[in-house]
Amino acid sequence: MSPSQFDRKKSLSRTRASLKMGHNYSLQKALLILKSKYDSKAFQKPDGSILDIHKLKPSDLKPDSEKALIIFKNLINMKTLAKISPDKRLLYTLLGTNDQQFKDPFLVTSDILKLLERDNNIDRAVYLAKLVDPKDAVVGMNAILQWLLERGDVQGAFKNYNDRKKWNIPVNSQTYVILFDGLAKSHMWGDVSDQLCDKVVDIFDRYRSQYTKDETSINNHAARKEFIAKRCSIQHFNACLSLLVKNFKQDQEKAWTFFDKIIPDPKSKLPVLVADIQTFTILLDGVKRFSIDKSEEIKNNKQMPVNEKTLRLLEIQGKLVSTAEAILDKVLKEATPPVPPTREEVESNTQILDDYRAKSRRRLINIDPSFVSVFVSCFISSHFGTGHDIKSGSHYMYVQKGMEYLRLWCPEIDNLCNFVSKIDTESKPITPSKSLKYHTDLRLKSAIDKLALESSNVLIDEASATDVLPENITSVQPLQKSIINPEVVFPPPPSSKNKTRAIFSDKKKPLVDFTRVPIEDIKLLELHRAYETSRGKFGRKLSHDQLSILRRERAGVNKFLISNVLDGLLKLGRKEEFYLSIWFILSKWGGIEFQAEDILRIKTEGLRRGLLREPNVAHIDSLKQCETEQKHKEDIVDIMSVENLIFKLSEQFKTKGQTASHVIVDIFSSLANYSTNSFFSLKPRIKTADVIFSTLIKDLHYYNDYNYNISVLEKKEKNIPNNTPRKSITNGQLEFFLEDLNRFLESLITAEGRLHPHSPSKYLLPNVYLDSYNKIIDRIYRSTWIDTSEEQTLNHHKQIVRSGILLFRPQSLIDPRENLQFATPIIKSMEIVYNNLKDKQGLSTEDVIVMTNLKRIFQLDIEGQAGIDKYNNLAKKIQRALQIDTKQKNKVTIISKAVAEEENESKLPA
């Protein structure tokens, strides 16, 4: 900042400080004026009771006091009903302002925002806006309008907008953006009426027609700049369009008719509107939402035959895909720069260079991630029911096409697909699994054959059934990069010193590049640079936040595009690739570290065992000081996206009595662990743990339902009476579940230690976690354990003790005043383990440690903090011993399986 700029800023601060002091009553004098002038008047509260002004204190007249608002409303009512003019300076005190502040629009707007926040209504804010000079109240009234729309008060917003004319408070360009955009956000999809559409379009047309003058006829630069800022622009058009696309009547006729207004008309004097990428994004997103609404309507129609539903859903998504590709063709055309001439062509005809420069002045559309995400979601979606069943989402051909577009536009996603393709050399992840393809083709063939036999046509456009098949909607040929994302030569930027040389440089760049700085941002940075170099005489000053946004490093991918590709892998039945994609994302952008060769273990062992090796599992003894350095890229992966991935894993990976709990715990453990997340910038939160607790409880319900259904079918086939327990869990299921539960709790305790390293150690986990844990243990106890031997049953109880022994506390040591929860249900397993071990001979070292320390816990007679410390010491010994015991048993199991596999292989014929 230059010395002159600093002096101006300092002077402005002093001026505003003096304005705030103003000429106003003190609180004590304001109270005396109130009591003396309005002693005989009744001040009514909102509930109808009377406010006694003689009991008021000076602090009750502060603007943030509830009583100040009551007094203000009563004074205004007196003016309206009794024609009694209230004391102006008294009103100023109640508003928290003074007549000197009215001269500064910034202070006026600031006071209006404070009043809106304090009062939660607009009465005092509007009154303040009416007191000041109309031109100084414009921004403040815009803030009131936005406040109303954010709360869904459409009627109040229109009244406020119309009253401005009565109060002689003008509107500005931003007023229309706030109005249109606020109305759009206030309405759900499909809920916008025709009347509201017509009303908004009428406002838009009247605003657009106000400035029909040709800007080139204005010679003064400042006047021309002011004129351009006031007139209707594409920003207003986009805000209005975002409302109209929410009207679903007559196939969104209102939106399409309005969209035609950007078509150039040589005879019209209205300002020309040039569509930008946001225009096409809004339109395409609206068409997609409309298609989803129609699809849901068909899926929920219980009277419609299944085969008819299949073809109608194909027709809807087919229309959407066709529309999306038509919009894409238009966008690519508007984004492609003109081809520059060669030196030879210019030397033979200089007019060619002038023509190229004229064409280069056309504003090019910048294809951004928002448009790509909306476009791809027309192909990869969970809503259209055109896959292998009505709940499966998009047809695999559409998903393949969407994945192709992503790979051509985003090198990071192409790298991801190349990475996970190493898992299977027979099939690339962009192709559907054989099972999914077979069932999808069978479903479509059955629907077409059935309707052919009935000789009926159920399609809206009376097309043949085969016309709605994906192969007849979009090309089955692979996409060509030269068409979808060609290498082009962009016109030289404004900052280029030698534009002619830049034209002949032949430096080609991809048309779509999300890391490239848009030309609009370059122009803003140039204006800021001009402002600094000229010391404020020219250009435009940008705030620190604006500069940070413009100068940030732009990633070539974001979380929405990542979500598209992960959904695509699931829709193609590629579960292993989906799981590996998660690790690719966490390691590349989430700050998580793991060994790349562990990928091969997925190939040999499958998903069941997860990816992390034993040394990478978090252990509760390794609590250290948490790190502060940032590592993960929040624009690409954040903790909410991790939680969404966990939810998808839990929903999609249940099969044949098995769940994805192991791989889910793997992910959480990688977040909590020091060796995999050393920087700890991507941190789990309470919601993350809640998602996993919820997943574990759902897994128990799934085990119960699966085992019950399988048992009922088996007994029905054998004609055996059904005495199947409603809640049951097999030995294998319980073994895996308890192993995952232990790993999760150890990781959760580690994460809590890293998140709160200086918190008091009265408890390891908060009550909300203990409540979920206790529900899981109760559910396990209430389930019937089937196919478990006596030794296996003992091992399961050991695992329950291991999971909760650090979270347990004897009843004698629980202080009810602390209101803390503990793992009280595990007392059952503690007693079973102790009673089994005390009667056994030849116990292992670990079993002896467990038995003796359980006995000491049962006999513990020390109270207070000494007793708690003693219990914690005993509990840690038990937990460590059970950890060692579990590892030894796992090694024996692995060796036994390996020996069995070798024996089976030796029996096979050569």
Segment 328-370, tens digit of pLDDT = 999 999 999 999 998 888 888 889 988 988 888 888 999 999 9
Burial 751-760 (b: 16+ CB within 10 A, else e): bbbbeeeeee
Q: Is residue 128 part of a domain?
A: no
Query: Do 27 and 62 touch, CB atoms closer than 8 A?
Result: yes
**pLDDT surpassing 60 at residue 18:** no
**pLDDT at residue 272, as a whole number:** 86
DSSP state of 814: -
Q: Which residues pair with 730 in a beta bridge?
A: 786
One-letter-per-residue 3-state SS of 397-424: HHHHHHHHHHHHHCHHHHHHHHHHHHHC
Q: What is the pLDDT of residue 907?
A: 41
Q: ∠718-721-722 over CA atoms, to 5°? A: 100
Find the range with the poorest average confidence among 577-581, 600-604, 747-751: 600-604
DSSP three-state, residue 658: strand
Give a yes or no: residue 235 inside a domain: yes
- DSSP conformational letter for 610: -
In eight-state DSSP terms, residue 813 is: G
- Give one word for 539, left, alpha or beta, with left for phi > 0 and alpha for psi -120 to 50: left
Residue 148 in 3-state DSSP?
helix
Joined together, the tokens standing for residue 411 give 């090198």
Encoded amino acid at 33, one letter: I
Q: Please give the residue that has the higher pLDDT: either 303 or 421.
A: 303
Q: DSSP characters for 81-133?
A: HS-PPPPHHHHHHHHT--TTGGG-HHHHHHHHHHHHHHHSSSHHHHHHHHHS-
The Cα–Cα gap between 789 and 781 comes to 16
Q: How far apart are CA 215 and CA 58, in angstroms?
A: 57
Residue-averaged pLDDT of the chain? 86
Question: Is residue 711 a contact partner of residue 765, using CB atoms and an 8 Å limit?
Answer: no
Query: For 401-428, what is the mean pLDDT?
Result: 83
pLDDT tier at 84, thresholds 50, 70, 90: confident
Instruction: Please give the average per-residue pLDDT across 147-166, as a whole number.
Output: 94
DSSP, res 539: S
Identify which of 910, 769, 794 has the alpha carbon closest to the alpha carbon of residue 851: 794
Residue 601 lies in a domain: no
The total number of structural domains that make up the chain: 3
Instruction: Assess whether 328 and 466 both reside in one domain.
Output: yes
Give the range of the structural domain holding residue 525, as residue numbers without chain letter.
517-546
594: its two tokens: 């793991």
pLDDT average, residue stretch 304-321: 93
Whether residue 317 is found in the same domain as residue 442:
yes
Residue 263, SS3? coil
Rounded (5°) CA angle 892-894-897 = 105
**Secondary structure (H, E, C), 626-652:** CCCCCCCCCCCCCHHHHHHHHHHHHHH
Does residue 242 fall inside a structural domain?
Answer: yes
Q: Position of tokens 């599992």?
A: 617
| pLDDT > 70: percent of the chain | 87
Residues 221 and 309 in one domain: no
What pLDDT, in 10s, does the model give residues 93-102? 888 888 888 8
Q: Return d(Cα 304, Cα 741) in angstroms, integer.
A: 45
- Cross-strand pairs, 509: 488
| Residues 38, 14 contacting (CB under 8 angstroms) | no
Please check the confidence at residue 637 and state whether its pLDDT lies above 60.
yes
Shared domain check, 469 and 321: yes
Domain-located, residue 790: no
Whether 414 is covered by a domain: the verdict is yes
Q: Give the number of C-alpha atoms closer than 13 A to the C-alpha of residue 204, restricted to the C-beta side.
A: 27
Q: Report whether 745 contacts 617 (CB < 8 A).
A: no
Same domain for 479 and 526, yes or no, is: no
Please state the rounded mean pLDDT for residues 179-206.
96
Q: Is residue 482 part of a domain?
A: yes
Q: Looking at the domain assignment, is residue 735 inside a domain? A: no
* Single residue among 274, 294, 326 that ends a domain in this structure: 274
Other beta carbons within 10 angstroms of residue 45's beta carbon come to: 13
Interstrand relation of 509-510 and 487-488 (parallel, antiparallel or unpaired): antiparallel
Instruction: Please indicate, yes or no, whether residues 366 and 410 belong to a single structural domain of this protein.
Output: yes
Look at 67 and 901; give whichever has higher pLDDT.
67
Q: Are residues 269 and 310 in the same domain?
A: no
pLDDT digits (tens, 9 = 90+) for 685-700: 999 999 999 999 999 9
Shared-domain flag, residues 457 and 368: yes
Cα distance between residue 757 and residue 231, in whole Å? 57
Looking up tokens 């024609």 gives 83
The per-residue pLDDT for range 807-858, each reduced to its tens digit, is: 999 998 988 888 889 999 999 999 999 999 988 888 899 999 999 999 999 9
Q: Are residues 222 and 369 in the same domain?
A: no
Instruction: Look up tokens 């936005």; give the residue.
Output: 146
Statement to judge: residues 481 and 409 lie in one domain: yes
Q: Are residues 542 and 422 part of one domain?
A: no
Cα torsion through 91, 97, 100, 104, rounded to 10:
-130
Q: What share of the chain is helix, strand, coil (3-state, %, to 5)?
A: 65, 0, 35
For residues 259 and 318, membership in a common domain is answered with: no
- Cα–Cα distances (Å) from 749 to 15, 165, 554, in that order, read 56, 62, 36
- Tell whether the model's pLDDT for residue 904 goes beyond 60: no
pLDDT at 218 over 90: no
